[in-house]
Amino acid sequence: MAGLNHSFFLVRASEFAPAEFDHFVTLPGEIELHDDLLRYMGDTLAWIPTHNPARDEPCMGLCMYGPTLIHVEGARVAAAVFSTWARLFALGPSDLDLTGGYAWVGADPSTGDYERLHIGRDVLCSRLNGLALRAEQVASGEGRLYLLHFGV
């Protein structure tokens, strides 16, 4: 899956205050996940308490088109969600074939079908476990760390 990726960074609060998130906008993420995959996981991601630094307000889940911060308050939930998805996907075949969103072919609404998401199981599980590990670091970091997410 190429294209629309979400980027995640583990950030030391002493180096970059949450309001300085724009420093990371052009950098490749430490971990990247495709937009279609995060939408597939979307209902469970909405359980994570987060913060939208662009609006300076609390929220739930990831901001799909902008920055999101995961602080200590949401880090344990995030770690559990990401590690649980990794364990679930680890049960699948080496090449995962997942059902994506519904799309139309052309203007005729009767020609639509569900998109197929193809991704290597081991790569995906490694990325999700990496996110879970970083979220655990935030949870145990006593406010010294946060997880920064950038939507597409």
Q: What is the pLDDT of residues 20-46, one digit of tens each?
A: 877 787 777 899 999 999 999 999 999
Yes or no: say if 93 and 121 are a contact pair by the CB < 8 Å rule: yes
Handedness of CA 47, 53, 58, 64 (dihedral sign): negative
pLDDT band at 2 (very low <50, low <70, confident <90, very high): low
Residue 105: the pLDDT is 75
Q: What pLDDT digit, counting tens, does each position of 77-95 carry?
A: 999 999 999 999 999 999 9
Stated pTM of the model: 0.91
Handedness of CA 126, 41, 67, 73 (dihedral sign): negative
| C-alpha distances out from residue 113 to 42, 98, 117, 130, 131, Å | 20, 13, 13, 33, 31
